[in-house]
Structure 1
Amino acid sequence: MIPEELFKRRHRGTPESFTLIIVNAIVLALVAPGFVKCHHISLVFWIVAGALAIYNFFTVRRHIESFDRFAMIAYIASLVIMAGAVVALAFKDC
């Protein structure tokens, strides 16, 4: 049958690092196509990116114990990939 320890374990839910990566990707996917055009990045995009950076700072600071080395590397890699996507979108052939 099923061991009793299985039911005693607590489910902690989705890790904060994964949630933060998903939130960043969704916000950039919604904002970038509308405000990043041929060789021009709108002021609205920079305001949203700044607000997202503040949100990221406070979220990481609040949940620093859940950001182990692997989660931090994945988070930083996702930021680099998203920044590269925005730059590629801004400098694509018009």
Structure 2
Amino acid sequence: MLPKEVFNRRRTHNNTPESVMLIFVNFIVMAVAVQVFALCDKIGWFFWAIVAGLALYNFFTIRRNYEQYNKATIIAYAISIASIIGLFLFFRLRPHNC
């Protein structure tokens, strides 16, 4: 039987840290943007608008939750940004039908 504190701690099920949510949002938005706007011969201008909007969102989210970011969280964020860039290059270099 689980102790009662387990259920009280996650009363509203919104205990996911903002840093993890930021990484999830980055991956989802970039995956959709690359698939829709950047897979043909030229990259659409709206893709760059999405990237700029995502950069602003990242800046203000990190600024708002600055006290939550420690060394491990910053390393995880940097690895996620590097992997997003790697996935972008991987999708662009693959043969595709346009």
Q: TM-score normalized by structure 2? A: 0.79
Name the count of aligned residue pairs: 92
Partner of residue 65, structure 1: 67
Q: Please report how far the alpha carbon of residue 53 of structure 1 lies from its aligned counterpart in structure 2 after TM superposition.
A: 0.2
By how many angstroms is 1:39 displaced? 4.6
The correspondence of residues 12-91 of structure 1 with structure 2, limited to 5 A, is: 13-91=15-93
CA distance in 2, matches of 1:91, 1:43: 19
Report which structure shows greater RCO (CA 8 Å, sep ≥6). Answer: 1
Deviation at 1:38, TM superposition (A): 4.3
Q: Shift in Å at residue 10 of structure 1?
A: 5.6
Counterpart-to-counterpart distance in 1, 2:44 and 2:91 = 13
Q: For residues 93 and 18 of structure 1, do their structure 2 counterparts lie closer, same or farther at Cα, with a shift above 3 Å needed?
A: same
- For 1:92 and 1:63, the matched residues in 2 are separated by 37
Tell me the CA shift for residue 40 of structure 1: 2.4
1:38–1:92 Cα contact (<8 Å) kept: no
Alignment RMSD? 2.3
CA offset digits 1:26-48 (Å, max 9, x no partner): 11121111111245221111100
Structure 2: runs of 5 or more not aligned? none
- What residue identity is the alignment partner of 2:19? S
Which of the pair is proportionally richer in strand? 1
